[in-house]
């Protein structure tokens, strides 16, 4: 499948049209940003790693009954996906307190939550992706009740599947972000699932294996990305 004109360029990925109007190519860049674009940098070969990890994790959640936009990984940096009308929402799942939740409520990182929290933010860089409630989403007509129910069910399946998968590999899935969109009227999981969008801690040492190494200047960023890629994808 050949790349057509550029459709959209985001912080970490570029979307290209293809000859098929229902399919687009998602190109993974090495660019990394944090804190709503205030910190910028490059993580060498991040695009290659994130493409591989996202493909493997999309396949895993598909096996658990979650429909995703993945068609196939085309090469190192390109994934063929179904074209989505993305909902303007970031769906964040938290199993332990970390990041924004720790800051927002003045809590220690690492507290195990009695039950997972699913929160929504309005995807808008200029506003800093503010927290939004389901009531707002329904009132604004951004999604229907049926779509929200489906999306929450899919999110819970993703959390259960990936929490178990990483636990068996010796890692804690602390939190992650998902994005959903409509394809021919059907809600599909889109975007990516990788170390840019998840917090993963090594169980024994609580070592951070994700983008927090970049955000917090912890060093060993590439090593952590490569190590998790080998664990998730094997030596394919």
Count of positions on this chain that bind ligand C5P (CB under 6 A): 14
Would you tell me how many other CB atoms lie within 10 Å of the CB of residue 134? 16
Under rule CB under 6 A, which residues in 27-86 are in contact with ligand C5P? Answer: none
Closest to ligand C5P by CB, 1 or 118 = 118
92 lies in the binding site for ligand C5P (CB under 6 A): yes
129 lies in the binding site for ligand C5P (CB under 6 A): yes
Closest to ligand C5P by CB, 83 or 208 = 208
Please choose, out of 106-114, 160-168, 175-183, 216-224, the segment that lies near ligand C5P by the rule CB under 6 A.
175-183
Three-class HEC string of 144-172: CHHHHHHHHHHHHHHHHHHHHHHHHHCEE
**Residue 220 CB, nearest approach to ligand C5P (Å):** 17
Please choose, out of 43-51, 76-84, 195-203, 221-229, the segment that lies near ligand C5P by the rule CB under 6 A.
195-203
Find out whether 73 and 52 touch, Cβ atoms under 8 Å.
yes
Closest to ligand C5P by CB, 3 or 207 = 207
Task: Tell me the C-alpha to C-alpha distance, in Å, between residue 119 and each of 73, 89, 95, 99, 196.
Answer: 30, 10, 12, 14, 18
Q: How far apart are CA 100 and CA 105, in angstroms?
A: 8
Would you tell me how many other CB atoms lie within 10 Å of the CB of residue 226? 16
**Residue 168 CB, nearest approach to ligand C5P (Å):** 20
Task: Tell me the C-alpha to C-alpha distance, in Å, between residue 214 and each of 17, 27, 35, 224.
Answer: 31, 21, 11, 10
**Interacting residues with ligand C5P (CB under 6 A):** 90, 92, 98-101, 129, 175-177, 197-199, 211
């Amino acid at each position: 499948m050949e790349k057509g004109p550029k459709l959209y360029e985001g912080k970490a990925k570029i979307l290209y049209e293809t000859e098929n109007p229902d399919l687009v190519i998602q190109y993974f860049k090495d660019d990394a940003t944090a804190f709503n674009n205030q910190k910028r940098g490059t993580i060498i070969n991040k695009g290659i790693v994130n493409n591989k990890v996202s493909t493997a994790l999309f396949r895993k959640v598909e096996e658990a009954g979650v429909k995703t936009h993945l068609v196939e990984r085309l090469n190192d940096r390109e994934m063929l996906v179904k074209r989505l009308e993305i909902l303007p929402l970031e769906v964040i799942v938290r199993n332990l307190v970390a990041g924004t939740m720790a800051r927002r409520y003045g809590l220690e990182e690492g507290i195990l939550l009695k039950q997972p929290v699913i929160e929504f933010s309005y995807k808008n860089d200029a506003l800093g992706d503010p927290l939004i409630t389901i009531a707002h989403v329904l009132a604004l007509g951004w999604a229907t009740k049926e779509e929200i129910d489906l999306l929450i069910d899919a999110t819970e399946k993703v959390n259960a599947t990936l929490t178990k998968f990483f636990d068996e590999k010796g890692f804690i899935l602390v939190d992650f972000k998902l994005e959903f969109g409509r394809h021919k009227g059907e809600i599909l999981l889109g975007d990516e699932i990788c170390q840019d969008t998840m917090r993963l801690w090594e169980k024994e040492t609580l070592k951070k294996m994700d983008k927090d190494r970049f955000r917090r200047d912890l060093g060993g960023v590439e090593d952590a990305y490569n190590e998790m890629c080998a664990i998730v994808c094997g030596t394919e």
